[in-house]
Chain A
Amino acid sequence: MTQTTAAQDVVLRLTGITKRFGKLTANDDIGFALARGEVLALLGENGAGKTTLMNILFGHYTADAGTVEIFGETLPPGAPGAALKAGVGMVHQHFTLAENLSVTENIVLGTQSLWRAGLGRAAARDRIAALSRDFGLAVDPDARVRSLSVGERQRVEILKALYRDARILILDEPTAVLTPQEADALFDTLRRATAQGLSVIFISHKLHEVMAISQRVIVLRHGRVAGEVATADTDRHKLAEMMVGAEVALPHPGLGTPGEVLMELRGVSLPAQGRRSGLAGIDLALRAGQITGIAGVSGNGQSALADVIGGVTAPAGGALVVAGAEVTEWSPRAALDAGVGRIPEDRHATGSIADFTLTENAVLEAYATGQFSRRGWMDWRAARAHAAAIITTYDVRCPGPEARIRLLSGGNMQKLILGRALEAAPRIILANQPVRGLDIGALTYVQERLIAARDAGAAVLLISEDLDEVLALSDVIHVMSAGRLSPAFPRGSMTPARLGAWMAGQGFTDAA
């Protein structure tokens, strides 16, 4: 493709970028060009070198070899801000916004001399309003960032780049935090931007998005360019193969054999808390040997449901029945004792303690049991052995059981959490967004493990925003909308379109 891009149309060119960290070669002779007005997808698993490459482009790292050229000018290596000045705007996966400032303040931050007397708020606001209009980025310029939703925050990040007259936009995993509707709006914005001559690098590992938005795909694997194709000439399957270097088969399990009801929610309700949705009289039965899928746009009560099942909150109304008996005392400890294994929604915030070692994280739920402590003293030998066993069994790639979990990639962290939950042989498995942000390799692995647990007789509750995932894995599917739960639909009885209607709130009889 590079040869078809005329030289004057190239806005960004990377040549022979190589970067080593000790023995590890993170980027190995990477080179490609970005043309004016195109969306180039950079596809690769976690650890393929995408982030390192972007850090080199932005001068946070100095490359061992290779050059970055923007609009024909070679960037000085290791100079943060040079790319920014040259017209490259980056939207990081973790937003870089100050929550105490307004939208306008966040956008003008750093665009003017610090010794200027005033902020020129009015002029800035007008310009932001114009940019919002032109690019379809609806956001209130006077709102405080603290009060914005994730989707709105991302729009502010894009506005930040546009306000600085960026001609090249780099988006790092932009849809990982968005609802499908917000993702569609983002794609619309990107189309408008490229129509106006901007160029976009779209970093992702979600294949259907890459297919939907990009014109060209560069696949990175183990720090090298594994392939470069025009999007029109490829399909999801081929891209997946290029990414992992082998043929991938997403799990398509057969139906499970449902057994007895292990946990039942009867008319469980919970009041809403702030912006968090509550539960409006939910009936749900979790059966042994069955995966129960919960579909729905996030923020419709899924977190509240997960909290009730995981023991974080007790139901405010209704009854929770575990193994045939209604529970009266319900806490995380009670849930664990009742055989609930938990894979939390946010592995960083509630799934692990970043500065603890893998060993410590591996025994977080069971450190006080006889398995790992005796008369109040920790048995670190047993804990380490347990962690080592999880590392081997679940293929956690890490420096060892004594490494801090912070150092692990998302996929490996999730495998440890999965191992921690499954090694306790849970009867009920609460899997809340178990594959969010994972690459294909880790995703397939986690899904296969959940299916194996089901086949071994566990009741699995799978909460996911990814409709494809729910449809492929669940034996029965419920839809959540505004704190309400739909009846159970057997697998195959619903099309994505009909589920979509339920997700939008149609079909529920009661008004919540």
Chain B
Amino acid sequence: MEIIDILISGSFWAAVLRIASPLIFATMGELICERAGVLNLGIEGIMVIGAFAGWMAVYSGMGLWPGVMVAMAAGMLFGLLHATLTVPLGLSQHVVGLGVTLLATSAAYYAYRLALPQVSSPPRIEPFQPVDIPVLSDLPFLGEALFSQTPLTYLALITAGVVALVLYRTPLGLALRAAGENPAAVEAQGLSVTAIRMGAVIVGSGLMAVGGAFLTMSAFSSFFFEMVNGRGWICIALVVFGAWRPGKAVLGAILFAAFDALQIRMQQTPLGALVPYQVFLMVPYVLSILALVLMSRRAEVPAALMVPYNRGER
């Protein structure tokens, strides 16, 4: 009974969208990379660096939106590193990705210690505030669920729409999808596989960093170690869950967020007194794995994913 009460409350769905936002940004970023043929395991670290850079920029006196730009730039920088190693140099995408994650995470922690050596509890910044969309936010249920979010949540949804449009409705998206399927086809049509793949990884990494920045600038207003907490890895799974399609991937992010929001609320019900809370914490991950098994069976993996392209080699 409590579950139904929770599911029909506007505040629950507002929380779902809030939790889904960083996942949507980072999933779109990963999806762009993978559609171009590059698996970006740097995602976890790039989210950390984005969370740190955006927060640090605002803490040092910049505005919130410039802070988002700083986070994005930091992500793109690590994206450039990842792209240089995996695309023209053709190194193993797994090893490079894990390396970028370790490097970016450590770099963020190191910079944090350098900037704030004496601090025991991290300082807070003034985060993005919810913005009510006129008229729409007055709608019953939907208004509370959808139209009283922070600007970054709106931006996440817009980003997903733009990614879908670019992928399916523009020559750029066409070239990107072809680069992940058969790079030789791109080359034969006189386009540069290297440029397309590097561009995809750099832009995708920028989006991942914005996803990380959401955590410090819209959700927790402060930077902690371990705050990204595996969200990057979840996004990798969400791309698979979404069968490399932006719409389905957003759906997956919302589904996962709903499980997460639900387990928090379930802990406060009478059932929560009986079951150890760790079980509730596990629920979203268990359900995600089940959903992944069901959804990704018929998925069409980009054929050239993780295959480095060397010109002139068959």
Task: Please give, as numbers and ranges, the residues of chain A lying within 8 Å of B177 by CB-CB distance.
Answer: 98, 100-101
Choice from A84, A96, A105, A113 contacting B184 with Cβ under 8 Å: A96
Task: Please give, as numbers and ranges, the residues of chain A lying within 8 Å of B174 by CB-CB distance.
Answer: 101, 105, 108-109, 119
Task: Please give, as numbers and ranges, the residues of chain B lying within 8 Å of A112 by CB-CB distance.
Answer: 171
In A106-153, which residues have CB < 8 Å from any B CB? 106, 108-119, 146
Task: Please give, as numbers and ranges, the residues of chain A lying within 8 Å of B303 by CB-CB distance.
Answer: 99-100
A99-B175 contact given A94-B314, A110-B190, CB 8 Å threshold: no
Q: Are B169 and A110 in contact (CB under 8 A)?
A: no
Counting CB contacts under 8 A, is B129 at the interface? no
Q: Are A117 and B170 in contact (CB under 8 A)?
A: yes
Number of A-B contacts (CB under 8 A): 82
Choice from A81, A101, A108, A118 contacting B181 with Cβ under 8 Å: A101
Q: Are A100 and B181 in contact (CB under 8 A)?
A: yes
Mask of B291-314 contacts with A, CB within 8 angstroms, 1/0: 000000000101100000001101
Choice from B171, B188, B190 contacting A119 with Cβ under 8 Å: B171
Choice from A80, A109, A116, A118 contacting B185 with Cβ under 8 Å: A109
Q: Are B188 and A96 in contact (CB under 8 A)?
A: yes
Q: Which of A85, A94, A96 has the most CB of B within 10 A?
A: A96
Task: Please give, as numbers and ranges, the residues of chain A lying within 8 Å of B238 by CB-CB distance.
Answer: none
Counting CB contacts under 8 A, is B172 at the interface? yes
Task: Please give, as numbers and ranges, the residues of chain B lying within 8 Å of A60 by CB-CB distance.
Answer: 311-312
Counting CB contacts under 8 A, is B178 at the interface? yes
Q: Are A114 and B171 in contact (CB under 8 A)?
A: yes
Counting CB contacts under 8 A, is A92 at the interface? yes
Choice from B169, B188, B191 contacting A118 with Cβ under 8 Å: B169
Counting CB contacts under 8 A, is A282 at the interface? no
Smallest distance from the beta carbon of A302 to chain B beta carbons, Å?
26
Counting CB contacts under 8 A, is A430 at the interface? no
Task: Please give, as numbers and ranges, the residues of chain A lying within 8 Å of B186 by CB-CB distance.
Answer: 98, 109-110
Interface size, chain A (Cβ < 8 Å): 32
Q: Are B171 and A101 in contact (CB under 8 A)?
A: no
Interchain CA distance A101-B182 in the complex, whole Å: 10
Smallest distance from the beta carbon of A52 to chain B beta carbons, Å?
11
Counting CB contacts under 8 A, is A97 at the interface? yes
Interface size, chain B (Cβ < 8 Å): 24
Smallest distance from the beta carbon of B180 to chain A beta carbons, Å?
8
CB-nearest residue of chain B relative to A106?
B185
Q: Are B172 and A101 in contact (CB under 8 A)?
A: no
Smallest distance from the beta carbon of A374 to chain B beta carbons, Å?
35
In A179-220, which residues have CB < 8 Å from any B CB? none
Interchain CA distance A84-B187 in the complex, whole Å: 11
Task: Please give, as numbers and ranges, the residues of chain B lying within 8 Å of A106 by CB-CB distance.
Answer: 178, 185
CB-nearest residue of chain B relative to A107?
B189
Smallest distance from the beta carbon of B147 to chain A beta carbons, Å?
29
Task: Please give, as numbers and ranges, the residues of chain B lying within 8 Å of A111 by CB-CB distance.
Answer: 189
In A63-116, which residues have CB < 8 Å from any B CB? 80-81, 84-85, 90, 92, 94, 96-101, 105-106, 108-116
Q: Are A92 and B188 in contact (CB under 8 A)?
A: yes
CB-nearest residue of chain A relative to B178?
A98
Q: Are A101 and B311 in contact (CB under 8 A)?
A: no
CB-nearest residue of chain A relative to B176?
A114
CB-nearest residue of chain A relative to B311?
A60
Smallest distance from the beta carbon of B192 to chain A beta carbons, Å?
9
Task: Please give, as numbers and ranges, the residues of chain A lying within 8 Å of B300 by CB-CB distance.
Answer: 100, 146
Q: Are A97 and B172 in contact (CB under 8 A)?
A: no
Q: Are B171 and A98 in contact (CB under 8 A)?
A: no
Interchain CA distance A106-B178 in the complex, whole Å: 8
Task: Please give, as numbers and ranges, the residues of chain A lying within 8 Å of B189 by CB-CB distance.
Answer: 84, 96, 109-111, 160
Task: Please give, as numbers and ranges, the residues of chain B lying within 8 Å of A117 by CB-CB distance.
Answer: 170
Task: Please give, as numbers and ranges, the residues of chain A lying within 8 Å of B170 by CB-CB distance.
Answer: 114, 116-119
Interchain CA distance A80-B187 in the complex, whole Å: 9
Q: Are A97 and B171 in contact (CB under 8 A)?
A: no
Interchain CA distance A108-B182 in the complex, whole Å: 15
Task: Please give, as numbers and ranges, the residues of chain A lying within 8 Å of B311 by CB-CB distance.
Answer: 60, 80
Task: Please give, as numbers and ranges, the residues of chain B lying within 8 Å of A109 by CB-CB distance.
Answer: 171, 174-175, 178, 185-186, 189, 191
Smallest distance from the beta carbon of A379 to chain B beta carbons, Å?
33
CB-nearest residue of chain A relative to B179?
A98
Smallest distance from the beta carbon of A81 to chain B beta carbons, Å?
4
Q: Are B182 and A97 in contact (CB under 8 A)?
A: yes
Task: Please give, as numbers and ranges, the residues of chain A lying within 8 Å of B169 by CB-CB distance.
Answer: 118-119
In B142-186, which residues have CB < 8 Å from any A CB? 169-172, 174-175, 177-178, 181-182, 184-186
In A28-86, which residues have CB < 8 Å from any B CB? 55, 60-61, 80-81, 84-85
Q: Are B190 and A81 in contact (CB under 8 A)?
A: yes
Q: Are A80 and B171 in contact (CB under 8 A)?
A: no
CB-nearest residue of chain A relative to B168?
A119
Interchain CA distance A327-B121 in the complex, whole Å: 76
Task: Please give, as numbers and ranges, the residues of chain B lying within 8 Å of A85 by CB-CB distance.
Answer: 190
Smallest distance from the beta carbon of B220 to chain A beta carbons, Å?
38
A110-B182 contact given A99-B303, A100-B302, CB 8 Å threshold: no
Interchain CA distance A126-B187 in the complex, whole Å: 25
Task: Please give, as numbers and ranges, the residues of chain A lying within 8 Å of B181 by CB-CB distance.
Answer: 98-101
Task: Please give, as numbers and ranges, the residues of chain B lying within 8 Å of A96 by CB-CB distance.
Answer: 182, 184-185, 187-189
Task: Please give, as numbers and ranges, the residues of chain A lying within 8 Å of B172 by CB-CB distance.
Answer: 114-116
Choice from B175, B188, B312 contacting A114 with Cβ under 8 Å: B175
Mask of A261-295 contacts with B, CB within 8 angstroms, 1/0: 00000000000000000000000000000000000
Interchain CA distance A98-B169 in the complex, whole Å: 17
Mask of B104-145 contacts with A, CB within 8 angstroms, 1/0: 000000000000000000000000000000000000000000
Interchain CA distance A105-B312 in the complex, whole Å: 24
Task: Please give, as numbers and ranges, the residues of chain B lying within 8 Å of A108 by CB-CB distance.
Answer: 171, 174
CB-nearest residue of chain B relative to A114?
B172
Smallest distance from the beta carbon of A425 to chain B beta carbons, Å?
35
Q: Are A80 and B190 in contact (CB under 8 A)?
A: yes
Smallest distance from the beta carbon of A457 to chain B beta carbons, Å?
40
Q: Are B182 and A98 in contact (CB under 8 A)?
A: yes
Smallest distance from the beta carbon of A380 to chain B beta carbons, Å?
28
Smallest distance from the beta carbon of A224 to chain B beta carbons, Å?
24
Task: Please give, as numbers and ranges, the residues of chain B lying within 8 Å of A100 by CB-CB distance.
Answer: 177, 181, 300, 302-303
Residues of B within 8 A of A (CB): 169-172, 174-175, 177-178, 181-182, 184-191, 300, 302-303, 311-312, 314
Q: List 18 additional contacts besides A98-B181, A114-B172; criterion CB under 8 Å.
A: A60-B312, A96-B185, A96-B188, A97-B185, A98-B185, A98-B186, A100-B181, A101-B177, A101-B181, A105-B174, A109-B171, A109-B186, A110-B189, A110-B191, A111-B189, A112-B171, A115-B171, A115-B172
Q: Top 4 closest A-B pairs, CB basis?
A: A110-B189, A81-B190, A96-B188, A98-B181
19 pairs, A vs B, C-beta closer than 8 Å:
A80-B187, A97-B185, A99-B181, A99-B182, A100-B181, A100-B300, A100-B302, A101-B174, A106-B178, A108-B171, A109-B174, A109-B175, A109-B178, A109-B191, A114-B170, A116-B172, A118-B169, A118-B170, A119-B169
Residues of A within 8 A of B (CB): 55, 60-61, 80-81, 84-85, 90, 92, 94, 96-101, 105-106, 108-119, 146, 160
